[in-house]
Each structure stands twice: as structure tokens, then as C-alpha cells.
């Protein structure tokens, strides 16, 4: 199977014509990571976004005092790192290969070029990216409503859960909450507020 | 000829990246809506069939949970609301009603879908602007949740069993 055929199997690129997929291929670079190799680090400036082809990318957040919390594992078809290209804010988590992994990389310049092209091709990808973000926003809004209800009821166990979800879900998709032990989460507020009050573009 | 509302819409962030032709294409599909103070605009769970822009007056956004109303926001002139519906058409996650007498503009999802299906640059530019504001709102919403939890820290801590208070002390400490 050719690379462009492979691309069209990914949900993100499913709507592309064979020709569009050929063009996209020319903008993408393959990245091969060995187990344990970092894709990018929390706090980095975002230079590119990635689509996972094979393997597994672990998403880790620094919880302070050198403690790292694993938030998610991303495998084939997942997109990662695109928010930083859209809103120009630093990476909110560290991504590390947990096994030998193959990714496709789209650089910031190509990403910008693609999205300023006003072509049907750009439109189709943008549509998918926008839908991905809407889902994340709806999730965040739901959490806000829950937090308000819980605050009114002084329902502490739910607030604890919402807090954990907030920390875990901050800027990452496909977060696996089941693996997180609420009692084990430690976070320094100065660290968190520094992150959250990061300057707006 | 320029649409009479072009000047107003080009001051709104969501529409500010559209050029004159693109903006005109969107404006052709909008309708004015007048509301009296207290009138309902849409209710939680209603189909997401349109976005609105406030020209004058204020609109209150609220949800109803366990029989109580919880205010989420009060939006003022120039604000856009319900625009996520243009993308996914999902049911309204909150209710909206006029806090004052209001003048609004309504953009139907069906109008927008027509532009979107035909891959019109106007729809594309609007979606592009939306991705940026959505990223913004994701971060804002998370911030609000965090702030809310910090506000309630003393009450929360008091109600906590001793073994858990450490987590909240760290989480809510103000310094």
C-alpha cells in the first residue's frame, strides 16, 4: 500500500481525493522514534503537529517535584500537537514513544501554508480539525457545569473528580481517567496557575 | 455595494478575518431577531440550528441542573453565541434568554451548511476563525473550572476527610 493510500485510511484524511493525498504526502515527513525517545517536551514552542501511524505515544504531564503523570497513550490514527499550531501556545505535555513508533510530521510553515490556501483540500482537513476541537470544548464546558453544580452542593467527591479531570484533560485528547488515582495527584498551584495564565496571543 | 451591516460585523473577532466578498456571502443569509427582556432565545436540549450575534442588549446564558438555574455568562453587544451549532448541530448545552430588550442577528445552520458543502471560502474562513476562538474557549473554560474550585477551597477543605485535605491544600493554596 502506498503512503498516499495509507493516508486516506486515517480518519483525518479520509475525505481527500487520491490527488490531494499525493500533494499532502509531499508536505509530510516521516519520523521514526525508538522506545523512550521524546517527540516533544512540555513547555516547548510547537514547531509541528503529528499523526501517529504505528506504535504508541505516551502523553505525560509534569505534576511538580519531578513527578510525571501519564495522561494518555496515542496509537494509530491519532493527531497530536495541532493546538499549539493553531493558538501559538507552548506544549502542555511531554510526548514520548512507549514503543518503536512511526509518525508523520507536518511543520508549522506547511501547516500555515495549507490553512491559508483557501483550497478545497485545506477546507476538508480544517473541517476535521474543527470538529475535533468542538468535541474537546464541549467536554470542557460539561466539566464547568458539573463544577458549578458541585460547588453549589458542596459535593466534594465530585469536585475532586472534576479537579482530576481538569488536570488530566488539560489540552490532551483521549485521556484515560481510569488509570489515574485521585489520591496520588499532587500539583503545586503556583506551577498550575503559571501555566494557565500563560500570555494570550 | 457593501452590505449595510458589513461595518458592524467586521468589528467582531470571529468575522474580522473575512474579506468583503466573504463577509457579504455570510451576511446575505442572516436575519434580524428582536427580543423583549425575559424572552427565551433557545432552551437547553433544543436542536442547534443557528448562531446569533448580539447587536444591542444583553443575553443571559444558563443551564438548569437538579431544578436550579446556574448562570454561565451574560453576553453583551458584539458577542457571538451558539456558533458551535454551525459546526456540529448538537443540541444546545445551555439555555439563552434576553436580559434586556435585544436586537440580534441569526445565521441559520442550513445557510452555513450550504456554503460549507460548496466549499465556499466564506465558510472556510469562518471555520478557521472558529478553531482559534475554540482553542481560546477550551483554555478559558478550564481556567473557570480551576477558579471556581479555588473559590470554594475553604468550604471544600472543611468538608473533606483528613486524608484527602492534603490534595486540596496543594490544589487550592493561594500564594
Residues in chain B: 175
The grid coordinates of residue A152 equal 453549589
Q: How far apart are CA B140 and CA B132, in angstroms?
A: 12
Q: What percent of chain A has pLDDT over 70?
A: 71
pLDDT tens-digit readout, A83-120 = 888 888 888 778 999 999 999 999 998 888 877 777 77
Interface test with A, best of B113, B139, B172 (most A CBs within 10 A): B139
The answer on pLDDT for B54 being more than 90 is: yes
Phi then psi for A19, rounded to 5 degrees? -65, -45
Task: Give the residue from chain A lying closest to B167, CA to CA.
Answer: A186
Report A:73-92 residues touching B (Cβ under 8 A): 83, 86-87, 89
Please check whether residue A183 touches B, CB under 8 A. Answer: yes
Helix (H), strand (E) counts: chain B: 7, 8
B128 to chain A: closest CA residue: A126
CA–CA gap between residue A136 and residue A59 (Å, rounded): 16
Helix, strand, coil distribution of chain A in percent, nearest 5: 45, 20, 35
The percent of residues above 70 in pLDDT, for chain B, comes to 80
Q: Which residue bears the cell 498550575?
A: A192
**Average pLDDT of the residues of chain A:** 73
The predicted pLDDT at position A187 comes to 30
ipTM over 0.85: no
A122-131, B61-70, B148-157: which has the minimum mean pLDDT? Answer: B148-157
Of A136, A143, A190, the CB nearest to B145: A143
pLDDT band at A72 (very low <50, low <70, confident <90, very high): confident
Amino acid at each position: 500500500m502506498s503512503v498516499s493510500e495509507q493516508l486516506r485510511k486515517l480518519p483525518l484524511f479520509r475525505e481527500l481525493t487520491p490527488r490531494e493525498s499525493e500533494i499532502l504526502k509531499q508536505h509530510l515527513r516521516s519520523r521514526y522514534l525508538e522506545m523512550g525517545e521524546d517527540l516533544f517536551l512540555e513547555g516547548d514552542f510547537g514547531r509541528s503537529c503529528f499523526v501517529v501511524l504505528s506504535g504508541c505515544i505516551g502523553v505525560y504531564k509534569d505534576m511538580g517535584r519531578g513527578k510525571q503523570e501519564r495522561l494518555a497513550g496515542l496509537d494509530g490514527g491519532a493527531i497530536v500537537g495541532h493546538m499549539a499550531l493553531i493558538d501559538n501556545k507552548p506544549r502542555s505535555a511531554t510526548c514520548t514513544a512507549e514503543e518503536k513508533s512511526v509518525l508523520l510530521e507536518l511543520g508549522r510553515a506547511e501547516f500555515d501554508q495549507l490553512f491559508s490556501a483557501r483550497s478545497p483540500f485545506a477546507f476538508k482537513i480544517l473541517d476535521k480539525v474543527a470538529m475535533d476541537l468542538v468535541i474537546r470544548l464541549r467536554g470542557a464546558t460539561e466539566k464547568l457545569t458539573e463544577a458549578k453544580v458541585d460547588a453549589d452542593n458542596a459535593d466534594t467527591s465530585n469536585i475532586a473528580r472534576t479537579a482530576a479531570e481538569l488536570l488530566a484533560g488539560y489540552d490532551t485528547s483521549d485521556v484515560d481517567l481510569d488509570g489515574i488515582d485521585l489520591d496520588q495527584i499532587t500539583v503545586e498551584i503556583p506551577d498550575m496557575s503559571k501555566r494557565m495564565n500563560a500570555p494570550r496571543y | 455595494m457593501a452590505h449595510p451591516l458589513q461595518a458592524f460585523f467586521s468589528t467582531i473577532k470571529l468575522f474580522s478575518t473575512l474579506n468583503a466578498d466573504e463577509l457579504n456571502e455570510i451576511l446575505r443569509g442572516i436575519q434580524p431577531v428582536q427580543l423583549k427582556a425575559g424572552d427565551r432565545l433557545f432552551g437547553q436540549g433544543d436542536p442547534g440550528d443557528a448562531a446569533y450575534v448580539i447587536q444591542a442588549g444583553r443575553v443571559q446564558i444558563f443551564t438548569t441542573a437538579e431544578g436550579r438555574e446556574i448562570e454561565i455568562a451574560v453576553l453583551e453587544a458584539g458577542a457571538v453565541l451558539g456558533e458551535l451549532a454551525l459546526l456540529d448541530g448538537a443540541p444546545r448545552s445551555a439555555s439563552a434568554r434576553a436580559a434586556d430588550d435585544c436586537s440580534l442577528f441569526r445565521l441559520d445552520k442550513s445557510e452555513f451548511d450550504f456554503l460549507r458543502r460548496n466549499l465556499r471560502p466564506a465558510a472556510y474562513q469562518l471555520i478557521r476563525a472558529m478553531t482559534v476562538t475554540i482553542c481560546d474557549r477550551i483554555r478559558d473554560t478550564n481556567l473557570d473550572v480551576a477558579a471556581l474550585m479555588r473559590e470554594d477551597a475553604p468550604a471544600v477543605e472543611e468538608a473533606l476527610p483528613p486524608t484527602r485535605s492534603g490534595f486540596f491544600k496543594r490544589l487550592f493554596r493561594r500564594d
